[in-house]
Amino acid sequence: MTQTTLADTSTDIVVIGSGIGGLSCAALLAKYGFNVIVCESHSIAGGAAHGFEYDGFKFDSGPSLYSGLSYSPSPNPLQQVLAAIDEKLPCVTYDTWGCCLPEGDFDTSVGAEQFCEVLEKLRPQAKAEWQKLQQVMEPYADAAVALPTAALRLDLGAVRTVGKFAPKMLRHARNINKLTGPFSQIMNQTVSDPFIRNWLNLLCFLLSGLPADSTNAAEVAFMFADWYKPNVKLDYPVGGSAALVNALVRGLKKYNGELMLNAHVEKILVENRRAVGVKLRNGKTIQARQAVVSNASVWDTLKLIPESAISPKYRRQKQATPECDSFMHLHLGINAENIRTDLACHYIFVKDWELGITAPQNVVLVSIPSLLDPSLAPSGKHVIHVYTPGNEPYTLWQGLDRRSDLYRKQKQVRAEIMWQALERIIPDIKQRCEVTLVGTPLTHERYLRRHNGSYGPALRAGEGLFPSARTALRGLFCCGDSTFPGIGLPAVAASGMIAANTQVSVNKHLAMLKEIGY
């Protein structure tokens, strides 16, 4: 990716940050015909989804589990964006992942039937409950995908773009209302078995960073629609998450959009209570004739808005947004000689259900993507990414000097649970390591420019939806995981689409829907 020369300039729309939400928004805006400049503070595009290379090993920095990307039309908003900008993303498909749970180790897969086989072995009495839940969720799953995200916009034009799907939505009217509440409302009426309840809480946590009583039912319904349909497969982009980022960047540039790397936005420029551009750390400015879109978190966006531009009350309310915890990471390059041949690409490790699914260091995810895409590692090697997903408290790290012995010692201590999880899968893993990189909340904070290294807002379902793309400042829109629909790759891509659609004419929006098969 080349960096555009920084200079005082003007454009139609400036997008702050090249995370998946920002790139989805920018690429679609460029497709719609706007002049767009994306300002990325890092030297690599992609935000939390960027990829990086170290000693010949190609690592994913964040997301590792993908679905709905290998076919179109797809309910996944990210695939809808890729279709809209006419970008192909070659994927390897698979259906199985491993579980290391208190009940034991086993493999499971997407699709409704195989999990019944797991239950037959672990908890035969629970099989009937799971099958009942499948039946209960079927109409909710249908309702969750009745309206494609690509149709959404935040103005009266939605009467036409959403309205064309009204007949289909009316068939699901009874269920759509319940989708806005917590999933626990549905779960509590259907499921009593402790293992299935723990399993569902785990899936909710992986989706939203919160348990079932705080996760929006629509997110879970979407997952059931995507994961438990016949012949379903999971996807892994060939080239890793970097390939996904590159596809969005190609789409941006194909329609004459620009990406500026190492372009740190210091301030949003405001005139007459309207966002009119940005000022960069190097003193250069970019004027925005139509809008500024921030892909930064709610807390980091507030830092960019001049004090006098918004009311103190609005600033306090947004600043008080509750936050999810952060992450620990292990990025490993290993010698794969004589390694076990039945490894799965992904594993989920849970230490103790009784601790609660969100407890620090209780859940660990393991990804070995070179099993699917050998190009990610040198011949005879594997690349491994291990992480604690949004359950590492920032307070344990706050104020530590990253060059200090205390920081190095704490990294060793807090990484131990990840090694334990990995040793359950590959017992001699420490002897195989050729590259060992440990990431902390301070790594997240530094490289991703994330407030406290947070996974995102911890907004509980039933207590209000994520805020819309609109803000209290005219001409300033937001997208990303602080914005509706929330956390996760499909959600942030959706937020980018909504922000882009709101700024284009209804006729152009309808033309895009037709192009992608709606």
Q: What is the pLDDT along the chain (518 residues), one digit of tens a residue?
A: 434 444 589 999 999 999 999 999 999 999 999 999 999 999 999 999 999 999 999 999 988 889 899 888 898 999 999 999 999 999 999 988 999 999 999 998 887 677 888 888 888 888 889 889 988 998 888 888 889 999 999 999 999 999 989 888 888 888 877 788 899 999 999 999 999 999 999 999 988 888 999 998 988 888 888 777 777 889 999 999 999 999 999 999 999 999 999 999 999 999 999 999 999 999 999 999 999 999 999 999 999 999 999 999 999 999 999 999 999 999 999 999 999 999 999 999 999 999 999 999 999 999 999 999 999 999 999 999 999 999 999 999 999 999 999 999 999 999 999 999 999 999 999 999 999 999 999 999 998 899 999 999 998 887 767 889 999 999 999 999 999 999 989 999 999 999 999 999 999 999 999 999 99
List, in sequence order, every beta strand (DSSP E) within 179-302. 234-237, 258-260, 265-271, 274-280, 285-294
Whether 216 and 136 map to the same domain: the answer is yes
Same domain for 250 and 209: no
Count of structural domains, the chain: 2
> In the numeric block, which tokens belong to residue 109?
């897969």
What is the C-alpha separation between 287 and 290, in angstroms, rounded? 9
Dump pLDDT digits (tens) for 64-121.
Answer: 889 899 888 898 999 999 999 999 999 999 988 999 999 999 998 887 677 888 888 8
Q: Is 382 helix (H, G, I), strand (E, B) or coil?
A: strand
Residue 20 belongs to domain with CATH number: 3.50.50.60
Q: Is residue 382 part of a domain?
A: no
The reply to whether 185 falls in a domain is yes
Say how many C-beta atoms besides its own lie within 10 A of residue 6's C-beta: 16
Instruction: Domain of residue 267: give its range.
Output: 9-48+72-85+237-321+461-515
What's the distance, Cα to Cα, between the start and end of the chain in Å? 32
Question: Does residue 433 lie within any of the structural domains?
Answer: no
Residues 290 and 249 in one domain: yes
Read off φ and ψ for residue 66, nearest 5 degrees. Answer: -130, 150
The per-residue DSSP string of 452-504 comes to GG--SB-PPTTS-PPP-SB-SSBTEEE-STTSTT-SSHHHHHHHHHHHHHTTS
327 inside domain: no
Q: What is the pLDDT of residues 354-390, one digit of tens each?
A: 999 999 999 999 999 999 999 999 999 999 999 999 9
